[in-house]
A and B are shown apart, each in its own frame.
Chain A
Amino acid sequence: MDTSNPAAFVNAELLRMYVGRRVRAVIQVLRNDGGSIFGKSTDEQELVVKGHPPNPPTTFVEVIGIADSNRSIQAEIWTNFGDNFDVSSYNTICQLANGDFKHLFI
């Protein structure tokens, strides 16, 4: 039982608030060079995710890792989220989890 190391739901807009801290985001993969992924956040901005992406990644991947700048994440855990994903629901969760319902999350 432990809440000391949460991973905040973020989109690109929210990422900047968590630099140096643990986050989770879903990225639509645009380009994959094997060492990092360039993709689109759920609020449709470009992000870089560093680490070892799954091979092959699906259209959408979830990353859990440390926000290392307001445009990039150092990934620890990658999960393929498939090719069909409701980006807007996930983006809504990012907003709720950092807004009115923050106390349920972090």
Chain B
Amino acid sequence: MNRHIRLTLLLAAALGIMSILQSCMKWDYGDTDEEFAIPPRGLFITNEGNYQYGNATLSFYDPESTTVENGIFFRANGYKLGDVGQSMTIHDGKGWIVVNNSHVIFSINTTTLKEVGRIENFTAARYIHFVNNRKAYVTQLWDNRIFIIDPTTYTITGYITVPGMEAGTGSTEQMVQDGKYVYCNCWSYQNRIIKIDTETDRVVDDLTVGIQPVSIALDRYGKLWALTDGGYAGSPYGYEAPTICRIDIATFTIEQRYTMQLGEAPSKLQLNGAGDTLYWINGGIWRMPVTSTSLPAEPFIPSRQTIYYGLTISPETGDVYIADAIDYQQQGIVYRYSPTGTLLDQFYVGIIPGAFCWKE
């Protein structure tokens, strides 16, 4: 065999090897466009997903049929929900999903799940609260402004600058409304609840409640409840025992403070549908009538090697839904308990189920 033939064969062999080694990456982008008809009542679950993975998802649970659908935003729209699905609120037949680290809020039809609009370029949106059909507030992490949006035009129309808070390190969190005032807890390295006049879009008052008020709720008697997590050991901002505060909304003063143990990490203060019983996570699930004068001695549902991360109470039945993130790297699970503490159902959802939204 002469040299030229040998070289030709060699080159042919090399090209052959290259073509064998080269298998195209079969990337499944799952460009689906599934049709949904979500029942009129049920529970949406926003699954945060892992920070910076862009794997937040949306689930829906039908308590009637005890069926769950996962990944429904993607399945209905053909693209991902984004990075860190923070919360969801339903207003005027539309579901508004706040996707924190994607700097976006999607608006979806709550039956078909198709997107109907979006608002972009938030700093790090946390929660959305509708003042009326033409105005909503969006709280932020790492910003001293609450964004004002027009949900009809999907635009940011203005800002409420929170006094005593710096741009970049600010934090505003959950909101409840009583009359023309919206109350909002300021959480990360903060200690206040602010009072916003929705007519002027200005902060008109604030109340210091303790280190890092993480969630708030408004009961049937018009009392505002705030749960502080107390910060963490070594924090320059301070570290103290977590508390639950009952605030008289008329005078905007603390009526009673319920103090927990230093080192405990309570979260997710919730009310039942009647607004007369508080629930929260602190290892296990705890509950307390809003008329109680002291904290309960035992949890309502003890922890059982679980890391409870989300909590909601059915406004209709009083069933208790608890999300367990397990190891935060797999599908979380939601446990459904009766108001008496009997396990009724359990179902897997997405990664890190953190927030719930009732469709009713």
Specify whether A and B are partners: no
